[in-house]
């Protein structure tokens, strides 16, 4: 493969990755825990968009339980977002390999 062709492929892949990243920044997933008492919405770029807590779950004596539900929902949402991101980025890099990598 010529260097020129390799450079064109790399530029095309870079453009595709930028488009995918822009798309992932607007795509969201959500996860719940505690039977829906806590809902976390994550963007597929790895950031958290929102967290909703059912007021019924806010009993001061249950703070630890609510904190655990928040962690569970956030981690599940981020895991889903990461999976989608990896899948989409994998599409852009499929078939492209650099020697020695």
- Domain coordinates of the chain in residue numbers? 3-93
Tokens of 50: 């929102």
Yes or no: say if 25 and 45 are a contact pair by the CB < 8 Å rule: yes
CATH class of 3-93: alpha beta
pLDDT tens readout for residues 23-76: 888 999 999 999 999 999 999 988 999 999 999 888 888 889 989 999 999 999
Query: What is the structure's pLDDT at 32?
Result: 95
Query: Closest Cα to residue 33, out of 57, 4, 69, 61?
Result: 69
Q: Indicate the pLDDT class of residue 100, thresholds 50, 70 and 90.
A: low
Residue 22 pLDDT greater than 70, yes or no:
yes
Query: What is the structure's pLDDT at 1?
Result: 65
For residues 16 and 76, give the distance between their C-alpha atoms in angstroms, rounded to a whole number: 27
Query: What is the structure's pLDDT at 51?
Result: 95
Q: Indicate the pLDDT class of residue 12, thresholds 50, 70 and 90.
A: confident
Query: What is the structure's pLDDT at 53?
Result: 93
Yes or no: say if 44 and 25 are a contact pair by the CB < 8 Å rule: yes
Tokens of 91: 């599409």
Query: What is the structure's pLDDT at 75?
Result: 95
* pTM greater than the 0.85 cutoff: no
């Amino acid at each position: 493969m010529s260097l020129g062709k390799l450079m064109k492929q790399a530029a095309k892949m870079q453009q595709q990755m930028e488009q995918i990243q822009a798309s992932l920044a607007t795509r969201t997933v959500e996860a719940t825990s505690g039977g829906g008492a806590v809902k976390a919405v994550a963007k597929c770029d790895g950031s958290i968009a929102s967290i909703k807590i059912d007021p019924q779950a806010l009993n001061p004596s249950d703070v630890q339980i609510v904190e655990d539900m928040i962690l569970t929902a956030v981690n599940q949402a981020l895991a889903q977002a990461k999976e989608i991101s990896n899948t989409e980025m994998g599409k852009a890099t499929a078939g492209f390999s650099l020697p020695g990598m």
